Amino acid sequence: MTADAVIVGSGINALVAGALLARKGWGVTVCERSDYAGGAICTRTDLFDGYTVELLSSWHPLFVGGPAYAELAPDLAARGLEYLNTTTPTGVVCADGSMTLSTDPAATTEAMGAVGDADAWNAMLAGFGAKADLAFGVLGLDFWRRSAWKFGWKAYRQLGRQGLAASGAELLEPAGPWLDRTFQSPVTRALLGPWALHNGLGPEDSGSAFITQVIGAAIAWGGMPVPVGGGVRLVEALTGIITGAGGQVLLGSEVTRIEVSGGRATGVRLADGSVIAAKRAVLASVTPQALYSGLLADAPVDPARQAAAQAFRYGRAGMQIHLALSEAPDWAEASMRDVAIVHVLDSMDTLTESVSAAGRGLLPRRPTIVVGQPTTVDPSRAPAGKGLLWIQLQENPRNPRGDLAGEISVDATGWTPQLRDAYADRVIAQLEPHIRNIRSAQTARHVLGPADLQALNINLVGGDPYAGDCRLDQYALWRPLSTATGHSTGIIGLWQIGASTHPGPGLGGGSGFQVASRLLS
């Protein structure tokens, strides 16, 4: 079997790359070890009777607002992909009150005005908007192409030398101090602060203020789109582009080795011993260790790259709790009933405490809880009159060694089902004052702890939903390797893509887009 490009893995980056190449006449073969395509897009209709559940990722603002969708939108729509959106994408419930953020500027200004932060919010949005092209451009920039120099020159001309230096400092600021000096209300800070978690950062991490502004602006301008019928519809549409052009997506086909000859990647070997030859390129959507110590174990690899791959580290673990309800969630704060994603936390103090605790191996005492309500955007996700909650925890220790609250027993066996379920009980108890029927209306529950996440997707090492620590030394130029070599592997024709690579995690398809664009140029 022979293809122009062989792609290892079938996550969003792999499928975006495959679709872009296939549209331009490349013969594409995607090899996926699991029995379903999509990677962290895992839509299930058999979990709760009559419900459509996104086990892992669920929300698509990064994809809809990114270059891959702009390029592929007509082809995706032709294959039945339809997005729905909402005017109330996010909100917060905290000890000091509650607030919603709307895509209607007047509504958000009114909400911010009630806590004294309308002027600060509008000034922030206006200032960010004036250089939004640069901000979003940095996140999508391929640092290893000539276009990066053009982008740098554009930034210099637009901002000037002092402005460019000041913007560099802004890029490095942590979210905590930025929120403290920008907004006077603890409710506003609690509304915006948790969004850095969605990029793997804590509020005291360098660069988290920039990420908070990027996500806040993106949501305020673009909402919280989801595909009708679940993320599987995006997967089906992307695979349809590949197969419609004569390519193939092979499920249950684990790649065990990348074939290298004369310093060039020539194909892949599968677990059954068969070989798929690659005439032009091999793209591997895997972690650095999986690539350099696994798929390339028998190949001559630059020792510096090998050492950098081994030094690549993973971040905090994730957890998912899915609840089927016999009725709609009964929020004590009525304004949250139509919000797509609600963050429930006590304050910025508990947010910082939880991130620190998880980083030191402790279960958080009062975690920051992401409460997703898919039916507020796509009512087809649940039977009429029923409720569905998609709950995410992003501040969990990968290797737990204790409980900050001193209530849950933790031992050396790690994330056992018993520990997972005990911690989920803590989360539900914390939500109960806010969602009054979260226990009485619950008809089914499905919990995924860190060990379950890794079992579902091999790239989520230790349950890290972002496939690698996202702090500054492992981001941008230094992702995936500290040697700053980008998606290149040092082997001709072999490219690394996926969440472990630049521009990092998130359902955007950025690395797949960048590498496919480079190959097509």
For residue 383, give the nearest of 52, 57, 86 by alpha carbon: 52
Inside any domain, residue 493: yes
- Please state the φ and ψ torsions of residue 140, each to the nearest 5 degrees: -100, 10
Same domain, 217 and 288: no
Quick one: residue 99, left, alpha or beta (phi over 0 = left, psi -120 to 50 = alpha)?
beta
Inside any domain, residue 441: yes
Same domain, 159 and 183: yes
How far apart CA 109 and CA 105 sit, in angstroms, is 6
Same domain, 68 and 108: no
Same domain, 323 and 449: yes
Boundaries of domain holding 168: 90-222
Same domain, 322 and 444: yes
Same domain, 144 and 200: yes
83-84/53-54 β-pairing: unpaired
Inside any domain, residue 50: no
Boundary of a domain, candidates 432, 456, 480: 456
> How many domains, the chain?
3
How far apart CA 472 and CA 149 sit, in angstroms, is 21
CATH of the domain at 73: 3.50.50.60
Inside any domain, residue 461: no
Helical (H) or strand (E) element with 32: none
pLDDT (0 to 100) of residue 476? 85
For residue 122, give the nearest of 177, 75, 182, 187 by alpha carbon: 182
Inside any domain, residue 51: no
pTM to 2 decimal places: 0.94
Same domain, 217 and 101: yes
Same domain, 303 and 376: no
Boundary of a domain, candidates 222, 254, 275: 222
Boundary of a domain, candidates 174, 195, 222: 222
Same domain, 118 and 212: yes
Distances from the Cα of 147 to the Cαs of 105, 143, 514, in angstroms?
Answer: 34, 8, 12
Please give the chain's pLDDT, 521 residues, in tens.
999 999 999 999 999 999 999 999 999 999 999 999 999 999 999 999 999 999 999 999 999 999 999 999 999 999 999 999 999 999 999 999 999 999 999 999 999 999 999 999 999 999 877 666 665 666 666 766 666 556 555 554 565 666 555 555 677 899 999 999 999 999 999 999 999 999 999 999 999 998 999 899 999 999 999 999 999 999 999 999 999 999 999 999 999 999 999 999 999 999 999 999 999 999 999 999 999 999 999 899 999 999 999 999 999 999 999 999 999 999 999 999 999 999 999 999 999 999 999 999 999 999 999 999 999 999 999 999 999 999 999 999 999 999 999 999 999 899 999 999 999 999 999 999 999 999 999 999 999 999 999 999 999 999 999 999 999 899 988 999 998 889 999 999 999 999 999 999 989 999 999 999 999 98
Inside any domain, residue 29: yes
Q: What single letter denotes the amino acid at residue 380?
A: S
Same domain, 327 and 436: yes
Inside any domain, residue 299: yes
Inside any domain, residue 179: yes
Output the CA angle 250-510-26, nearest 5 degrees: 45
How far apart CA 182 and CA 348 sit, in angstroms, is 14
pLDDT (0 to 100) of residue 477? 85
pLDDT tens digits for range 62-114: 999 999 999 999 999 999 999 999 999 999 999 999 999 999 999 999 999 99
pLDDT (0 to 100) of residue 168? 57
Same domain, 200 and 305: no
Residues near 305 by beta carbon (within 8 Å), at least 6 away in sequence: 292, 481, 483, 485, 489, 490
Same domain, 452 and 326: yes
CB 480 within 8 A of CB 442: no
Say how many Å lie between the first and final Cα of the chain, rounded. Answer: 26
How far apart CA 369 and CA 296 sit, in angstroms, is 39
Distances from the Cα of 247 to the Cαs of 5, 76, 240, in angstroms?
Answer: 10, 16, 9
Residues near 150 by beta carbon (within 8 Å), at least 6 away in sequence: none
